[in-house]
């Protein structure tokens, strides 16, 4: 008991003399896994950032064009679904998720019969959720491969915010 009391007295005397003492660092919390992204509506803003390739008879938005929509975002295991309000004219994406990062590639489809020209179209989406799971950023890419072999690409920057 005397030894413990002596140790406490020496420690008090040392701190009173202005000597520094060791303080444990404050732990930094790990990011919340994206598995905690609950299903719900998200405001998504998409801005066209690049357009390249030959012109052809399909409208593609110019650089700087902005589109906004409410997407339904739902996590199921290691998959996250991005469903637009109009799944006929807007692409849906089913992305694999790893931590906060996600990536999706839609299968390539051919143009419908009667279109102004024949082409193959593909799209992809990749991005990351913020550590608090209340927002995300992503890049969407469209590609149109004409029968001539020429390719037109359109790139979009996405920002999404939980509603």
The tens place of each residue's pLDDT in the chain, 163 residues long, gives 444 433 433 444 444 445 444 545 555 545 445 455 678 999 999 999 999 999 989 899 999 999 999 999 998 889 999 999 998 888 999 999 999 999 999 999 998 888 888 999 999 999 999 999 999 999 999 999 999 999 999 999 999 999 9
Domain total in the chain: 1
Residue 112: per-residue pLDDT = 84
Residue 3: per-residue pLDDT = 44
Residue 37: per-residue pLDDT = 65
Q: Give dist(CA 96, CA 85) in Å, integer.
A: 21
- Does the residue 27 lie in any domain? no
Question: H/E element holding 8?
Answer: helix 2-16
- Does the residue 79 lie in any domain? yes
- The model's pTM: 0.76
- Does the residue 18 lie in any domain? no
- Does the residue 137 lie in any domain? yes
Q: Which tokens go with 10?
A: 């020496």
Angle at 56 between CA 147 and CA 50, to 5 degrees: 105
The candidate with the shortest Cα–Cα distance to 53, out of 115, 146, 138, 158, is 146
Query: Domain containing 151 — which CATH number?
Result: 2.40.160
- Does the residue 21 lie in any domain? no
- Does the residue 50 lie in any domain? yes
Residue 35: per-residue pLDDT = 53
* Cβ atoms of residues 117 and 147 within 8 Å: yes
Domain housing 148: 34-58+65-162
């Amino acid at each position: 008991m005397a030894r413990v009391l002596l140790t406490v007295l020496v420690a008090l005397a040392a701190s009173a003399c202005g000597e520094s003492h060791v303080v444990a660092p404050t732990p930094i919390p790990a990011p919340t896994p994206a598995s905690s992204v609950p299903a719900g509506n998200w405001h998504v803003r998409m801005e066209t950032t690049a357009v390249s390739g030959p012109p052809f008879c399909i409208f593609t938005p110019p650089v700087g064009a902005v589109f906004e929509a409410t997407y339904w975002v739902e996590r199921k295991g290691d998959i996250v679904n991005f469903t637009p309000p109009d799944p006929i004219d807007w692409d849906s994406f089913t992305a694999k998720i790893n931590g906060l990062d996600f990536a999706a590639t839609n299968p390539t489809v051919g143009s419908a019969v009667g279109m102004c020209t024949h082409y193959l179209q593909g799209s992809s989406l990749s991005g990351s959720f913020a550590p608090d799971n209340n927002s995300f950023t992503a890049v969407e890419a469209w590609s149109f491969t004409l029968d001539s072999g020429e390719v037109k690409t359109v790139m979009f920057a996405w920002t999404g915010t939980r509603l």
